[in-house]
Amino acid sequence: MEYVVIFEKGENNYSAYAPDLPGCGVVGETLEEVRTLIAEAIEFHIEGLQEAGEVVPQPLFTLPVHNPPDASSELITAQV
């Protein structure tokens, strides 16, 4: 599955979150680090939902997403 991820640049770091997966977000020093962390976080989040017997939300958002001025978005593929 592919989930939309929103990337934001802060004053001293970058962050990313997946709107379709509430609570799934990361912070890192570089954009490259955040890309790696969010891909891992999405897979970990989905595995946790599955192990708990919860429903894994299907991706609802698609590109293009309307981003705030200091944000970008892309699709991240998660192995489920």
> Residue 74: what residue type?
E
Contacts of 44 (CB under 8 A, 6+ apart): none
Residues of the domain holding 20: 2-77
For the chain, the domain total comes to 1
Q: Per-residue pLDDT averaged across 6-10, rounded?
A: 89
Q: What's the pLDDT score for residue 28? A: 98
Cα separation, 7 vs 39, whole angstroms:
12
Per-residue pLDDT of 22-56, as tens digits, reads: 999 999 999 999 999 999 999 999 999 999 999 99
Cα separation, 46 vs 58, whole angstroms:
11
Cis peptide before 64 (omega within 30 of 0): yes
CATH assignment of the domain containing 69: 3.30.160.250
> Residue 34: what residue type?
V
Confidence of residue 18 (pLDDT cuts 50, 70, 90): very high
